[in-house]
Amino acid sequence: MLSDRSKLTTEKRNARSRGIDRLSTLRVVDVINAEDARVAAAVRRRRRAIAAAADLAAERLRTGGRLFYVGAGTSGRLGVLDAAECPPTYGTPPSMVQGIIAGGGRALVRSVEGAEDRAADGAAAVKRRRAGPRDVVVGIAACGLTPFVRGALEAARRAGAATVFVTCAPEVVEFTDADIIINPVVGPEVVTGSTRMKAGTATKLVLNTLTTAAMIRLGKVHDNLMVDLRATNAKLRDRAERIVMDVTGLPRARARALLAQARGWAKVAILMHFRKVGFAASRRLLRECGESLRTAISAPPRRAVT
């Protein structure tokens, strides 16, 4: 394992930001923005690995598995953030996608010094959740060396879980044992070692893409609409009504009434409209069609559907 952190890309000095403390504020912003512009291209270069990870996650989630994100500091917070957004966006149970951060919940709002240095804690966190062969564990470490993350990945592998590693340091790839490695190389940071910047942005893009692509594969998106959302607050009720209106052509009042019958579930409401069935039959048909609304709408008529 690499022991000299000064050799890591994420720890090197950026020649393009030298002397930044002598620049005007506008020029500082320009330098940061120019560096940020490099991130999307770095992520794109890893698109095949991201797609493979999304397919792997979809495969495991489809059969009742779970997706775990494990990280420390910024990486951990980004994992928790992505996991927390899945239930309201895609109607997933909170247990399906989970975020694990070194230091626990308090580390989300305040740095917990030293928490990332204990590999045993990472392993214990994975064991507590009983990660196993049906699950996927994604380790996130900008520098690639975080003991908490590596301990978690090692425990996940021993338990038979699929493993994915996300890092911005190319130097650690050869020392990493994971089923899939996603390594967007964004280069040194504007402020040396501040991986909350480009590395954090790259990580956010990777995780957004991974879960979004997996949820699309699971049938939770119709066209480009989040039809599996549950209307649990005013914003989501309005969005659900607009989704039903958009897909069915119904006026808002009718869409609202249909959603009430569908218990706030946009996908079910849309299928109830097109197939002229009730809630239970709509859910049954969706299950038979692998939760694909497009397939369920066009499926051959069933006899005695109620």
Active site residue 59: no
Beta strands of the chain (E only): which ranges? 67-71, 97-101, 136-140, 162-166, 180-182
The string over 53-88, giving b where at least 16 C-beta atoms fall within 10 Å of a residue's C-beta and e elsewhere, is bbebbbbbbeeebbbbbbbbbbbbbbbbebbeebbe
**CA–CA separation, 97 vs 301, rounded Å?**
35
Read off the tokens for 235: 């914003």
Spatial contact of 122 and 151, defined as CB atoms under 8 Å apart: yes
Active site residue 288: no
Marked catalytic residue, from 11, 35, 59, 85: 85
CB burial of residue 170 (10 Å; 0-12, 13-18, 19+): middle
**CA–CA separation, 74 vs 70, rounded Å?**
11
Residues in the chain: 306
Marked catalytic residue, from 116, 171, 189, 241: 116
Spatial contact of 291 and 218, defined as CB atoms under 8 Å apart: yes
The residues carrying an active-site annotation are 85, 116
